Amino acid sequence: MKPKELIDILTVAERLKCNTRHADTSSGRRESVAEHSWRTALMAMLLSDEFPDTDTDKVIRMCLIHDLGEAFTGDIATFDKTKADEEKEEAAYRKWIAGFPASQREQFEALLSEMEAMQTKEARLYKDLDKLEAVIQHNESDIASWLPLEYDLQLTYGSAEVEFSPYLKQLKAFVNRCTREKIEASRKK
């Protein structure tokens, strides 16, 4: 890849450092999309032993690129995002990667197609980690920042998806316990 091509791609990707998500960090500032993607990838790396028959390197790559379309559209909370929003984000993302050098374009297109199809264990794992990271981050934020609908969403978001994995079901149950404890503690204040 030529240096200018790399810098051009990184310049667009840098927007994810500036684009914020719905959740706050534990310090009370808005989380960036880049921070979410990084921690989702870190989760995949940390859990590689739990999924020995899964290509964890591929999962990490999926986690790193999954929200790059938000460089064009910004983040829209899952409960507000429409099909039209998803299509707009996807179109902008696909148009952007169409200009990549051939080997990178092919790699991104293959990963995106696999992620969209959700037929492989790698795609399912990336998507589950994406959802679980969001719930974990929300638990780390001040409950005063939660919207009323999020009290239930925290407990249900990602629940159906984790059913394929005993480990992820156990992780989701633990995260749900943390959510319930957080909600109960807030009611005692």
Burial class (CB in 10 A: 0-12, 13-18, 19+), 184: exposed
Task: State mean pLDDT over 101-121.
Answer: 96
pLDDT band at 188 (very low <50, low <70, confident <90, very high): confident
> What DSSP state is assigned to residue 82?
-
Question: Token pair for residue 89?
Answer: 């984000």
Structural domains present in the chain: 3-187 (1.10.3210.10)
Q: Tell me the per-residue pLDDT of 57-74, one tens digit each, with 9 for 90 and over.
A: 999 999 999 999 999 999
Q: Tell me the per-residue pLDDT of 139-176, one tens digit each, with 9 for 90 and over.
A: 999 999 999 999 999 999 999 999 999 999 999 999 99
- Global pTM reads 0.94
32 strand-pairing partners: 20
Residue type, position 43, single letter: M
Specify the DSSP element, H or E, that contains 22. Answer: strand 20-24
**pLDDT of amino acid 110:** 97
126 within 8 A of 44, measured Cβ to Cβ: yes
Task: State mean pLDDT over 75-92.
Answer: 93
Calculate the average pLDDT of the chain.
Answer: 96
